C-alpha cells in the first residue's frame, strides 16, 4: 500500500515557481504598534477635531503676539499719550482718542476682545493667559511624568521589600487631600520665597512655583501606581521569560519589552494630566493664589472679570470659552488615545 511506503513523493520537493514564491510576499508593510495606534486615532473624528483645535490654539499663542502691536501689560496710548478713555471698551470699538487718530488717517489695530479696566488690550491678554495656562499645565504634567514613571518603574521592577515600603509611602501621599495642601503651601511660599526679579519664575510668581512643587510632591502617585501595576503584569508574561531564557540582558528587556508596553498607559495619563493641571491653576487663581499680576492666566482673567460682570460679561466669556475649549479637546484627545493605544481594548 502506498500509504505505508517510505518512498517520498518527489513532487513535494520541486523548487517553487515564481508564482508560488510571490504568494509568500507580505503585501502590506508591517504595521508597528505605534503606527497602528496612530491610524486608529486618525479614524476617530472627535480626536482629530481636538487635535485640530489644539493645533490652532498653539499656533495662535505662538504667532498672534507677533502680529498684534500691543503687549499684555501695556496700557494703551495714542501717539505716546496715555489713552485714558480706552477703559472697558466693547469688542471692536475704539476710544474717542483712537477714533480721532483714525479719522486723521492713522492706522490702529482693532481691539478684537475690547479692553480691560486698566486700558489694556483684552485680546492679547487672553492669548497670553492661554499661553501661561498651557505652559503651567504641560510643565506640571512633565514633572508628574518623570517622577511617577521613575518611582513606579523602580518599585515594580525591583519588587520585594523595597516595593512594599515604596507603596506604603504612596498610600499615605494618596490619602492626603491635594488641593488643600496646595493652598496651604502656596500661602506659606508666598511669604518665605522670593526670586531674583526679571527671571521667568519671578514673573510667574511664587504661587506657580508652589503649584509645581506640590505636583512634584503629591500628584505623581497615581502615575507611579499605574506604571508599577503595568510593569508587575508585564513581568509575568511568557515572552519576558522567553527573553530571559535565551539570555537577553535586563537592559534590553526593559527597553524592548517592558517600556513599549507601558508607553500607552504613560501617554494616556500624561494627556489627561494636562487638563487637570490647567483646572488646578485656574482654581488657584480664583482663590487668589494664581500667577502674579500683571501676568495673566485664563483663571485669573476669569476671576478678574467677576468684578464688572453685570456690565462687561464678555470679559468672563472669552477666557471661560478658552478654558473649556482647551480642557475639552485635551479630554477628548486623551479618550481617543486610550481607545487607540490601550492594548486591553483591542478586539
Partner 1 sequence: MTRYILKRVVLAIITVLIICFITFFAMNSIPGGPFNKEKALSPATVAALNARYNLDKPIPQQFALYMKGVLHGDFGVSLKNGREITDIIKESFPISAKLGLIAVTIALVAGTVFGSIAALFRNKWPDRVIVFLSTLFTSMPSFVLATLLLLVFCIRLGWFPVWGNEEVSYFLPVLSLAAYPMAYTTRLAKTSMLDALSQDYIRTANAKGVAKWKVIFKHALRNSLIPVITYAGPEIAYIITGSMVVETIFTVGGIGSKFVTAITNRDYTMIMATTIFLATLMVVANLLVDIVYKLVDPRINYD
Cell numbers 487631600: residue = 177
**Are 76 and 118 within 8 A, CB to CB?**
no
The distance of closest approach from Cβ of residue 293 to partner 1 in the complex, given in angstroms and rounded to an integer, is: 14
Q: Does 139 bind partner 1 (CB under 8 A)?
A: no
Q: Does 49 bind partner 1 (CB under 8 A)?
A: no
Q: Which is nearer to partner 1, 95 or 226 (CB)?
A: 226
**Are 60 and 127 within 8 A, CB to CB?**
yes
Cell numbers 513599549: residue = 260
The distance of closest approach from Cβ of residue 286 to partner 1 in the complex, given in angstroms and rounded to an integer, is: 5
DSSP 62-110: HHHHHHS---TTPPPEETTEE-TT-SSPPTT---HHHHHHHHTT-----
**Are 290 and 299 within 8 A, CB to CB?**
yes
The distance of closest approach from Cβ of residue 305 to partner 1 in the complex, given in angstroms and rounded to an integer, is: 8
Q: Which is nearer to partner 1, 139 or 286 (CB)?
A: 286
Q: Which is nearer to partner 1, 101 or 189 (CB)?
A: 189
Q: Which is nearer to partner 1, 69 or 177 (CB)?
A: 177
Q: b vs e for 63-81, b when ≥16 Cβ sit within 10 Å of the residue's Cβ?
A: ebbeebebebeebbebeee
The distance of closest approach from Cβ of residue 297 to partner 1 in the complex, given in angstroms and rounded to an integer, is: 12
3-state secondary structure of 193: coil
Binding track, positions 243-282, relative to partner 1; x by CB under 8 A: --------------------------------x---x--x
The distance of closest approach from Cβ of residue 190 to partner 1 in the complex, given in angstroms and rounded to an integer, is: 9
Q: Does 99 bind partner 1 (CB under 8 A)?
A: no
The grid coordinates of residue 55 equal: 493645533
Q: Does 320 bind partner 1 (CB under 8 A)?
A: yes
Q: Which of 161, 169, 159, 75 is nearest to 122 (CA)?
A: 75
Q: Does 152 bind partner 1 (CB under 8 A)?
A: no
Q: Does 88 bind partner 1 (CB under 8 A)?
A: no
Q: How many alpha carbons fall within 13 Å on the CB side of residue 332?
A: 18
3-state secondary structure of 207: helix
Q: What are the beta bridge partners of residue 121?
A: 115
Contacts of 19 (CB under 8 A, 6+ apart): none
Q: Does 344 bind partner 1 (CB under 8 A)?
A: no
Cell numbers 487638563: residue = 275
State the burial class of residue 311 (Cβ atoms within 10 Å of its Cβ: 0-12, 13-18, 19+): exposed
Q: Which of residues 173-202 bind partner 1 (CB under 8 A)?
A: 175-177, 179-181, 183-185, 187-188, 191-192
Count CB atoms within 10 A of the CB of residue 251. 8
The distance of closest approach from Cβ of residue 105 to partner 1 in the complex, given in angstroms and rounded to an integer, is: 40
Q: Which is nearer to partner 1, 242 or 309 (CB)?
A: 309
Which DSSP helix (H) or strand (E) runs through 246? none
Piece in contact with partner 1 (CB under 8 A), picked from 33-41, 70-78, 133-141, 326-334: 326-334
The distance of closest approach from Cβ of residue 183 to partner 1 in the complex, given in angstroms and rounded to an integer, is: 7
Q: Which is nearer to partner 1, 258 or 301 (CB)?
A: 301
Q: Which of residues 280-309 bind partner 1 (CB under 8 A)?
A: 282-283, 286-289, 299, 302-303, 305-306, 309
Binding site for partner 1 (CB under 8 A): 171-172, 175-177, 179-181, 183-185, 187-188, 191-192, 275, 279, 282-283, 286-289, 299, 302-303, 305-306, 309-310, 313, 316, 320, 323-324, 327-328, 331-332
Amino acid at each position: 500500500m502506498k500509504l505505508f511506503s517510505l518512498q517520498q513523493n518527489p513532487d513535494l520537493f520541486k523548487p517553487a515557481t515564481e508564482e508560488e514564491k510571490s504568494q509568500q510576499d507580505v503585501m502590506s508593510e508591517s504595521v508597528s504598534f505605534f503606527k497602528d495606534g496612530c491610524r486608529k486615532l486618525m479614524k476617530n473624528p472627535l480626536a482629530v477635531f481636538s487635535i485640530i483645535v489644539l493645533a490652532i490654539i498653539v499656533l495662535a499663542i505662538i504667532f498672534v503676539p507677533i502680529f498684534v502691536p500691543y503687549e499684555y501689560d501695556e496700557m494703551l496710548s495714542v501717539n505716546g499719550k496715555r489713552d485714558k478713555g480706552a477703559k472697558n471698551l466693547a469688542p471692536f470699538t475704539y476710544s474717542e482718542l483712537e477714533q480721532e487718530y483714525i479719522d486723521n488717517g492713522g492706522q490702529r489695530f482693532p481691539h478684537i476682545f475690547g479692553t480691560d479696566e486698566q486700558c489694556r488690550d483684552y485680546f492679547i491678554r487672553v492669548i497670553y493667559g492661554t499661553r501661561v495656562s498651557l505652559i503651567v499645565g504641560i510643565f506640571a504634567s512633565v514633572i508628574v511624568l518623570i517622577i511617577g514613571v521613575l518611582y513606579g518603574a523602580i518599585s515594580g521592577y525591583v519588587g520585594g521589600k523595597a516595593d512594599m515600603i515604596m507603596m506604603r509611602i504612596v498610600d499615605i501621599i494618596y490619602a492626603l487631600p491635594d488641593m488643600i495642601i496646595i493652598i496651604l503651601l502656596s500661602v506659606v511660599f508666598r511669604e518665605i520665597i522670593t526670586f531674583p526679579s526679571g527671571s521667568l519664575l519671578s514673573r510667574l510668581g511664587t504661587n506657580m512655583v508652589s503649584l509645581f512643587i506640590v505636583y512634584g510632591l503629591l500628584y505623581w502617585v497615581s502615575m507611579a501606581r499605574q506604571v508599577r501595576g503595568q510593569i508587575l503584569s508585564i513581568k509575568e508574561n511568557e515572552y519576558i521569560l522567553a527573553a530571559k531564557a535565551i539570555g537577553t540582558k535586563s537592559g534590553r528587556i526593559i527597553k524592548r519589552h517592558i517600556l513599549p508596553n507601558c508607553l500607552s498607559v504613560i501617554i494616556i495619563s500624561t494627556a489627561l494630566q494636562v487638563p487637570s493641571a490647567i483646572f488646578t491653576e485656574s482654581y488657584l487663581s480664583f482663590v487668589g493664589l494664581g500667577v502674579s499680576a500683571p501676568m495673566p492666566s485664563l483663571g485669573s482673567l476669569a476671576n478678574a472679570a467677576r468684578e464688572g460682570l453685570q456690565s462687561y460679561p464678555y470679559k468672563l466669556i472669552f477666557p471661560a470659552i478658552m478654558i473649556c475649549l482647551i480642557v475639552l479637546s485635551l479630554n477628548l484627545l486623551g479618550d481617543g488615545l486610550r481607545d487607540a493605544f490601550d492594548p486591553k481594548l483591542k478586539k
